[in-house]
Amino acid sequence: MSTISPSATKEMGKTLAAKGVILIDAPISGGEIGAIQGKLSIMTGGPEETVEKVRPIMEVMGRTITYCGPSGSGQMTKLVNQVMVVHTIMSIAEGFAFAEKVGLDLQTTLKATSAGAAASHSPKALGPKIIEGDLAPAFMVDLQQKDLRLVLEYAEQLNQPLPGVALVHQLFTTLQAQGRGTDGTHALIDVIRQFGKQA
């Protein structure tokens, strides 16, 4: 259920299949709170009939169990999830930094944008934490960096440029260089704020 390399997952699946063992890759999204509440999103890869056999076990942990395809498909889907998540975090960081720069009240800004096209889970979950200055992790920078390295490595194998992911990866590296790898990913706003102070 860890987020690991899709290529390594496929190789492990082949090795285990030769010994009569079936591997299901089932990475998760939803963070610590989702795990505690049994509301994770679980992305599965492997033989569909085997996934269905263990579905009742996964339903104890997750609210949404999605069959994504053969071995490695769960991992690839999780990497897609991480691509989208980091772009959302970047948009929150830039939006809030811009709002602060022009003198807007962040609470009002969050309320207004959450009612429009910018509404999504991440601003709802992370926006209040940013406003309160609470950078405790829902998901740590260090863990996100591990996932982004997997994304970028696999994208390179596919010859698929992901310039936005590469940028966010470098910005998170700035936080790590400041000794803040255990902060939540929403600490990205501090890097964007630092750029504004230099301008």
What is the domain partition of the chain in residue ranges? 6-75, 76-198
* pLDDT at position 64 over 70: yes
Check residue 116 and give its pLDDT: 93
Domains 6-75 and 76-198 share a fold: no
Per-residue model confidence (pLDDT) at position 199: 61
pLDDT at residue 31 above 90? no
Res. 198: pLDDT tops 80: no
Write down the pLDDT at residue 102: 97
Domain 76-198, CATH among 1.10.599.10, 1.10.1040.10, 1.10.10.10, 1.20.1050.10: 1.10.1040.10
Contacts of 94 (CB under 8 A, 6+ apart): 192
What value, to the nearest 5°, has the Cα angle with vertex 31 and ends 137 and 150?
A: 90
The mean pLDDT value for 92-104 works out to: 97
Task: Look at the alpha carbons of 171, 192, 189, 179 in this order and tell me if their dihedral is positive or negative.
Answer: positive
Domain 6-75 architecture: 3-Layer(aba) Sandwich (3.40)
| Separation of alpha carbons 90 and 137, rounded Å | 16
pLDDT tens-digit series, residues 152-169:
999 999 999 999 999 999
The residues assigned a catalytic role are 78
Average pLDDT of the chain is: 95
Percentage of the chain surpassing pLDDT 70? 99
Phi-psi region of 31 (alpha: psi -120 to 50; beta: other; left: phi over 0): left
